[in-house]
Amino acid sequence: MQTINIQGNQITLRDWRLANLDAYRGWLQPGREWLKLDAPYEPDFTQAQIERSIARYTKSIEANEWPSPRKRLVIADSQTERLLGTVNWYWQSEITNWLSVGVAIYNPANWRRGIGYEALGLWSEYLWQALPKIARLGLSTWSGNQGMIRLAMKLGFKEEARYRKARIVDGEYFDSVGYGVLREEWYQRYPRGFGAQSQRASHEPVAHHKNEEINNA
């Protein structure tokens, strides 16, 4: 199977490699800073869940068998190939061609460098092309993740839903918020495609839900 390799300015979106898996295992351990923003109202990963996820990726890498379109790609440093994070998508409603996207940058040292902006922009562009039937992309987060909210708005996503006091983090209520962008809105904003028009921006992107982090191979 032909591998996916989408080149950006700072990063590359690509398929998994065996060399990524030890680092990935480490970033899934409880207490990591990125997990405090990535759906912190959900339980931490168990070691059994982590090892099942690693086993699935190992099998896919060794067999070179991946879903088409991809459900998840690695965000790698374009110079060093080091694992920086992942992008993913999942169905909100497959019947109506409605999916949601997510992005996670694991190391806080890499936040506010425009990496999440570039990664999610390139990922969204890939999905528009790979899934020509979809009319919209969604993105869900919580009101405590201001970096993700800024990132969504920077890319052209609009707030479409707000469920007040729907999440509890450290004993405090937060809103659950949903953002979306339509295909025509995206191409009005990026008529030559995102890759041709991308620019560096500062954000703190962590927008997965934990169960999507390890369940989408």
> Is pLDDT at 190 greater than 90 in this prediction?
yes
Domain residue spans of the chain: 5-215
pLDDT at 199: 47
> Is pLDDT at 202 greater than 50 in this prediction?
no
Q: Positive or negative CA dihedral for 141, 213, 112, 171?
A: positive
> Is pLDDT at 200 greater than 50 in this prediction?
no
Structure tokens, 178 = 């949903």
Over residues 72-97, the mean pLDDT reads 96
pTM of the full predicted structure? 0.91
For 151, phi then psi, to 5°, come to: -65, -45
Residue 201 CA from chain centroid, whole number = 17
Say whether domain 5-215 belongs to CATH 3.40.630.30: yes
pLDDT digits (tens, 9 = 90+) for 111-163: 999 999 999 999 999 999 999 999 999 999 999 999 999 999 999 999 999 99
- 158-169 sheet: strands from edge to edge: 5-7, 11-14, 72-77, 83-93, 98-105, 136-142, 172-182, 158-169
Q: Which residues of 166-196 are buried (b: 16+ CB within 10 A; e: fewer)?
A: ebebeeeebebbbbbbeeeebeeebeeebbe
